[in-house]
Structure 1
Amino acid sequence: MARLTRALWHTSEEQSVLLEEPLPAFQEGCCLVQTAWSLLSCGTERLVALGRVPPELQERMRVPYMGGAFPFPVKYGYSLVGRVVAGPRPWRGRWVQAMHPHQEAAWMRIEDLNPLPEGMPPRRAALFPNVETALTALWDAPLKIGERVLVVGFGLVGSLVARLVQPLPGVELVVVEKQAQRAALATQMGFCVQDAAQLPAAFDCAFHCSASAAGLQLCLDHLGPEGTAVDLSWYGTRSVPLKLGGRFHPNRLTVKSSQVSSLPPAMRPRWSHQRRREAVWRLLNDPLFDQHLTHTLPFESAPAFFQSLRKGVPPGLGYVLQYGGGEGG
């Protein structure tokens, strides 16, 4: 009799469920990973749960091991951490991170496994793809020592961008977040938080992470001449109206899209995806990243969480699902 595992599926724009599916006994060139943690990327996964992936982007938005198809039913998610319990002997017992939907256990190809460095807390390792996204955004800017930097939107990605910017020598970093609980979190974490109405129009670079037209407009309105707004937001099927008739053209402002799937052109001659992965692991050695995982939820509560998420993005930063005892947290 085949072993069964449970996975999170979105079956309609109103419902998410845990469904059982069989696990093969063995797959050549693969490892069986028993999941301990998986990260919920609230912005993107909310749009997926609502069925708002644009038809023209459905192929690009597919993730490894995705089940079903957009819009529904679909099994989606992209950061799972667990221990290898079956497969080639050198891999057994190792902790790995992988791009995989929320699921209790899964066979994965060895080339898709991202081994955790020795001493890396598995729970923190679930942040890997989001830290990779934030690092790529800094490369896309690119920032210079001493610049004035604005981060608009202190969700998980925005908070990670702020975390990477803050230690840069001489940089003046300001965070804007309209949600009171998140703004309070930013202050508690040591970031300078200002009200949007009090901002000067003098920033060299702005990172937009609020997934709103108003947030991107705020970035543009507060850039100095020749300034750059790096947009990390994904809008799904929504249009993004902007006011570009005022100071945008006279000040030669730039809006730059940042996307983690490819390396910035300036980095490609020297950097590979593997070298970037190694850099992300070095960054994640810092225990301060644990502050960005503000909520831990049992895997069984995932359907209820998505029911709430459909109504609006929650006030915390990183939400992580815990499987069983969540070993290695």
Structure 2
Amino acid sequence: MMDKGVVTRGTAEAQALWYTRRMQCEIRPVAANRPRPGEVLVDALFSGVSRGTEGLVFRGDVPESEWQRMRAPFQSGDFPFPVKYGYASVGRVREGGPDLVGQIVFSLYPHQSAFTLPTEACVPVPDGVTPERAVLAANMETALNAIWDGKPSPGDHICVVGGGVVGLLTAYVAGQLPGSTVTVIDTNPERAKTAHTLGLNFALPQNAPGNQDLVFHASASAAGLSTALECAGDGTSIVEMSWYGAESVAVPLGTDFHCRRLKLVSSQVGTIPVERQARWTYRRRMEMALTLLKDPLLDTLITHKVSFTALPDRLPDLLNKASDVLMTLVVYDDEPC
């Protein structure tokens, strides 16, 4: 299957990962076009696997009502299958504008070895951010958006329920506030080491602190949402970052939810909060997300590496909900990982 809109003028064959049917994927040839004016040709170095969203795609759990809203910026194909899906690619510009040739750039592109896209759709990776760490940019952008929605203040006691990549990045950013005390809550005790590396506290759900000034929920589970509500102090906001796909989730709004005047706030990276839309563009937000990745401690979130050609064999395990995986780094070279 050829990429949508691709013509054969000055093309070279590249390869891309396609989700072909439920729990199956394969690598297919595509064409990497020579760039027109205003475009660049990028050779992929690394990409990142988003376990949450790509897991839903892989399992066929994207509800039909969300098939259009869930489209990745450079997705090919249509839900449910086959789709070329992904949004965390880092590569080197091979051709295009002379000011970009040779630069390392981040783009919201699927897993593909080489690709052409508009110049404005790629963001140069700043000095101090390694190409490997830059694959976290889309997740950091989600975390930044959640911080905007939650509006934490210096000195706050903050809980983040769910120690996946997005939850840990949200906790990390919140932890940069002067005087803040941030605790990551997760059912996996192995997340304690990662949290402590990032300068954060850690607790299992049964030991979660209460009376928190702000709570973020990122576990994508009903049990996690219940824990988040329990952690919240009176009048506190619980920022719901999880997306459950087609799954229905019970929300415990009985008992003391109303008398404690708790607030359940949705957060979604697809839109910038209303109060910032007059000043912040998506590109400005992405540039800030990349800048926030300068800390080498964030390398601890990259727990697995896999060669691009091995993805069809490895993804079933890497996207398994029971797998102890944070960020999987996809490597676009010929050496096995």
Please give the TM-score of this superposition, normalised by the length of structure 2. Answer: 0.91
Measure how far apart 1:310 and its partner are.
4.9
1:98 matches 2:111:
no
Aligned residues: 326
1:126-170 C-alpha deviation (Å, 9 max, x unpaired): 111111111111111110111111111101101101111112122
Measure how far apart 1:210 and its partner are.
0.5
Aligned to 1:64: 73
Aligned to 1:302: 311
Aligned to 1:181: 190
Q: Equivalents in 2 of 1:41, 1:289: separation in Å?
A: 16
Gaps of 5+ in 1: none
Aligned to 1:275: 284
Measure how far apart 1:226 and its partner are.
0.5
Aligned counterpart for 1:81 among listed residues 67, 85, 90: 90
Q: Equivalents in 2 of 1:150, 1:180: separation in Å?
A: 16
Q: Equivalents in 1 of 2:295, 2:24: separation in Å?
A: 37
Aligned to 2:202: 193
Matched to 1:285, the amino acid is: K
Q: Equivalents in 1 of 2:279, 2:319: separation in Å?
A: 42
Q: Summarize the alignment of residues 237-248 of structure 1 with structure 2, pairs less than 5 Å apart.
A: 237-248=246-257
What percent of counterpart residues are identical? 38
Preserved contact between residue 34 and residue 116 of structure 2 (Cα < 8 Å): no
Matched to 1:84, the amino acid is: V
Aligned to 2:123: 114
Higher relative contact order (CA 8 A, sep 6+): 1
Aligned to 1:5: 14
Please give the TM-score of this superposition, normalised by the length of structure 1. Answer: 0.93
Q: Equivalents in 2 of 1:124, 1:188: separation in Å?
A: 16
Aligned to 2:332: 323
Summarize the Cα distance change of 1:95–1:181 in structure 2 as closer, same or farther, 3 Å threshold.
Answer: same
1:148 matches 2:157:
yes
Matched to 1:247, the amino acid is: D
The worse-fitting range, judged by mean Cα deviation, of 34-43 and 201-210 is: 201-210
Aligned to 2:3: none
Q: Equivalents in 2 of 1:64, 1:268: separation in Å?
A: 19
1:205-254 C-alpha deviation (Å, 9 max, x unpaired): 11111100110111112211101111111100000101211111001101
Calculate the aligned-residue CA RMSD, in Å: 1.8
Aligned to 1:132: 141
Matched to 2:32, the amino acid is: L
Q: Equivalents in 2 of 1:309, 1:119: separation in Å?
A: 29
Summarize the Cα distance change of 1:175–1:294 in structure 2 as closer, same or farther, 3 Å threshold.
Answer: same
Matched to 2:148, the amino acid is: W
DSSP 3-state at the match of 1:85? strand
DSSP 3-state at the match of 1:217? helix
The worse-fitting range, judged by mean Cα deviation, of 195-204 and 238-247 is: 195-204
1:259 matches 2:263:
no
Q: Equivalents in 2 of 1:310, 1:141: separation in Å?
A: 29
Measure how far apart 1:91 and its partner are.
2.2
Aligned to 2:241: 232
Measure how far apart 1:325 and its partner are.
6.5
Q: Equivalents in 2 of 1:64, 1:275: separation in Å?
A: 17
Measure how far apart 1:197 and its partner are.
1.7
- Structure 1 moving runs of 4+ over 4 Å: none
Q: Equivalents in 1 of 2:283, 2:276: separation in Å?
A: 13
Q: Equivalents in 2 of 1:272, 1:24: separation in Å?
A: 28
1:172 matches 2:181:
yes
DSSP 3-state at the match of 1:238? coil
Q: Equivalents in 2 of 1:46, 1:180: separation in Å?
A: 22
Aligned counterpart for 2:167 among listed residues 158, 168, 182: 158
Matched to 1:255, the amino acid is: L
Q: Equivalents in 2 of 1:224, 1:260: separation in Å?
A: 26
